A and B are shown apart, each in its own frame.
Chain A
Amino acid sequence: MLTASRLRDGEAVWLGKSGWVEVIANGEIFAEPSSAEAALRRAEADVQANLVVNPYLFEVRVNEGRITPIKEKELIRSSGPSIHANLGKQARHV
């Protein structure tokens, strides 16, 4: 998947089918290297357009339709601080 930070507020966002989304579950998975590269190019265009900063690709696994990042950092980024269930993206589901 591809993530970035939204310029105006720093919100963690993921690239979805029709643009940047605030929840990882709505993001798009790029299974092929070619689609990942294309996504990165699209993100770079949005960097130039001053919408996002620091775009990068990261790995996820999908289990029964649920997207889980492989790395802890991406997991925390997609959910919120592990010590504050009431903060970050995870708070939206509480």
Chain B
Amino acid sequence: MYRYDEFDARLVRDRVEQFRYQVNRRLKGELSEDEFKPLRLMNGLYLQIHAYMLRIAIPYGTLAARQLRKLAHLARTYDKGYGHFTTRQNLQFHWAKLVQVPDMLAELAEVEMHCLQTSGNCIRNISADQFAGAAADEIEDPRPLAEIIRQWSTLHPEFSFLPRKFKIAVSGSEHDRTALKFHDMAVQIVRNEAGEIGYRVYAGGGMGRTPYVGYAVGDFIARNDILAFLEAVLRVYNMHGRRDNLWKARIKILAHALGPEEMRRQVEREFEEIRASGTLALPAEELARIEKYFAPPAFETLPDDDPAFAAAEKSDPDFANWARTNLTRHRIAGYAIATISLKPPGGVPGDISHEQLDGLADLMDTFGQTEIRVSHEQNLVLPHLRKKDLPAVFARLKALGLATANAGLATDIICCPGLDYCDLANARSIPVAQHIAERFADLEKQHAIGELKIKISGCINACGHHHAGHIGVLGVDKKGVEYYQLQLGGSGAEDASIGDILGPAFGEHEIAGAVERVVDVYLARRVNGERFLDTYRRLGMAPFKEAAYAAH
């Protein structure tokens, strides 16, 4: 776990006092709302339907137990007892009071947390694979690089006023769990034929009103060159991004207007220029300092077949179901990665109570877990659990209401806050997620369906990643009434694709039925262990469309 050095600590502390001063000036009327709004947004503070919303950065989705406890304390003391994990691995409090926000920020600073760059046209919080350092298919832990990018991009003067916001993700695995190709820019750690490690850099991905799958602008960038290369991409964007039109200002528009060839040429030209004038490279001791913080825990030598684990699987069907979907193979024998689902039946995807935050911190202490991760799918992950501890871990999770056995299944739905909270939303998304989850509540049915990514957004901004859902749902407003468009065939994984819009939108009470009918087509027509996505890609839209509108 990264720990602040004196510069990080001072920067965050200074920012708290700066914002406290700005809030006081606003309350006294020395700053108008027009003057204050960009300042509050630079500190992650939005004004939503019911109250202010404070978005807290969780760099590369990694949290320590003391940070969970602080978030629990904030939820209890300043909010309404809960927080909401987002698809950017951040946490939002939806009921913040402006007068209290400086105190919230001061409390966050005590545990090395902040809200910098969680809003505004800058490089946003860096996200990373939630299985970092644990995944069996990982080449290298992506977080040291993510931390370097965080430090490099924090208050970077050249990139503080970009044409639009800029989101970066880093992954160290072949299997993409971070939606790399839907980011403005992304880095994948790769190995070449000679066995050397380097970086593949993608640019131009994005969702929103005009979704695009990003493409590689650099195939194998050497370690020492990575910041120079990322800077080159950003410079091309900063110079040529469409500042004249809010809807065309993201790098995806530029990247796809130029096309891969021209984009790569321009990036390469900038890259050469930066290199000629002296590449920014971190001193070796600073690199070593950062890498040390992400060193793996001291793993024990354990048998991979643990008898206690096997016995619990046999005797406790709930544990067996949970183990089946919520555990992922660890790179070390005798260990497992546990996904803690924040999608309980009838719950709100991504929400967590202060009791659960505290309970998880206690659980981490009991089982020697120094880190917990947030996934972009709005779940939590304990990355390094001993298999022999899992039955006890499961019992503790069950007591906390955090043992839902549905990771990767139909009810593990990504969902934005939607019109229930968000000022930008056109329609509610949470009730739709709940209706759909109800339809698939039967766990046996979920297992029969297998991997299914349902993703729901309450507006075209696509915070709920609907474009990348095997089944995507987009809420729209038609003359004041909520309707829901269905999209099929999207993927946020390494086989990234944008879902196809099925046809006319469904009413609030029709959408869950339409989703179920679409899934029924898959169940009837799948072959050879196909996932929903595979069957859709093989058959095309027609049979799904016919079924979806059959009872319409």
By a beta-carbon cutoff of 8 Å, the part of chain A in contact with chain B is 5, 7-12, 47, 49-50, 53-54, 70-73, 76-77, 80-84, 87-88
Contacts and interface: CB of A to CB of B under 8 A. Distances in A.
B428 A82 contact: yes
A46 to B, nearest CB: 12
Contacts of B477: 72
Given A72-B482, A73-B49, A53 B33 contact: yes
A83 B348 contact: yes
Nearest to A49: B29
A65 B244 CA distance: 48
Contact of B480 (A5, A10, A70, A87): A70
Chain A interface helix/strand/loop/mixed: loop
A54 to B, nearest CB: 7
B99 A76 contact: no
Contact of B49 (A8, A12, A70, A83): A12
A77 B26 CA distance: 24
A8 B431 contact: no
20 contacts: A7-B98, A8-B27, A8-B98, A8-B99, A10-B48, A11-B51, A12-B51, A50-B28, A50-B29, A53-B33, A54-B47, A76-B419, A76-B420, A77-B50, A81-B420, A81-B430, A82-B420, A82-B428, A87-B95, A88-B50
Contact of B47 (A49, A53, A80, A84): A53
Contacts of A76: 49, 419-420, 428
A65 B420 CA distance: 25
User: Interface on chain B toward A: helix, strand, loop, or mixed SS?
Assistant: mixed
A68 to B, nearest CB: 12
A7 B97 CA distance: 9
A73 B50 contact: no
Contact of B434 (A77, A83, A88): A83
B26 to A, nearest CB: 7
Interface string B86-98: 0000000001111
Given A81-B420, A82-B428, A10 B348 contact: no
Contact of B27 (A7, A54, A72, A77): A7
B432 to A, nearest CB: 10
Contacts of A54: 33, 47
A93 B95 CA distance: 19
B419 A10 contact: no
A47 to B, nearest CB: 7
Contacts of A71: 480
Contact of A87 (B28, B33, B80, B419): B80
A82 B51 contact: no
A9 B480 contact: no
B394 interface: no
B541 to A, nearest CB: 30
A47 B98 CA distance: 16
Contacts of B80: 87
Nearest to B417: A81
Interface string B1-34: 0000000000000000000000000111100010
Given A50-B27, A50-B29, A81-B421, A10 B51 contact: yes
Contacts of A88: 50
Nearest to A81: B420
B427 interface: yes
B420 A5 contact: no
